[in-house]
Amino acid sequence: MALVVPAAGEAEMLERIVGNPTQTTNGDVHIHLYKNNYTPVEGSVLGDFTELVDATDQNYALKPLTAASWSPSSSNPTVMEYTQQTWTFLGIPDNFIPVYGYFVTADNDTTLLWAERFTDAPYNIPETGGSVSITPKLELA
């Protein structure tokens, strides 16, 4: 699945690109995993995603992506990359965790910036534990 920038996040993404002085956020964003069977579309909003939660999805926490840590791809100048992010889950007795994709919010966690469903979703984290890794990328086409 391709990365989707919903209409709700387009204005903020543009403001971040041009460094709009009215932009109040510091440029950092948060990456989250979601567990509902949902495919992001341009009209997606935060309420469309069911984020994993630590109480039931052992050892889960959103991850901050700091603005200063993005770097251009060495092979494609239209791609910005972030280092791989890995979530390692503890065992869940008699259960498993489905992970369908990820979404990214502004640092206030109220603005959905972009989302992506895994092409081979879901990743089912077994009751014995497991991990999910993502290398965040943004590409201008």
Q: Residue 47: left (phi > 0), alpha (psi -120 to 50), or beta?
A: alpha
* Average pLDDT over every residue of 24-43: 88
More confident residue, 106 or 47: 47
- What 8-state DSSP symbol labels residue 122? P
* 10 Cβ contact list (under 8 Å, min separation 6): none
Question: What are 52-80's pLDDT values in tens digits?
Answer: 886 566 778 999 999 888 888 888 888 88
Residue 22 has pLDDT above 70, yes or no: no
The burial class, CB within 10 Å (0-12 / 13-18 / 19+), for 106 is buried
Question: What are 78-134's pLDDT values in tens digits?
Answer: 888 999 999 988 766 667 788 999 999 988 888 899 999 999 999 988 878 888 999
Taking 3-state DSSP, the helix, strand and coil percentages for the chain, each rounded to the nearest 5, stand at 15, 35, 55
> Quick one: pLDDT at residue 21?
54
Q: For residues 70 and 104, give the distance between their C-alpha atoms in angstroms, rounded to a whole number.
A: 14
Residue 23 has pLDDT above 90, yes or no: no
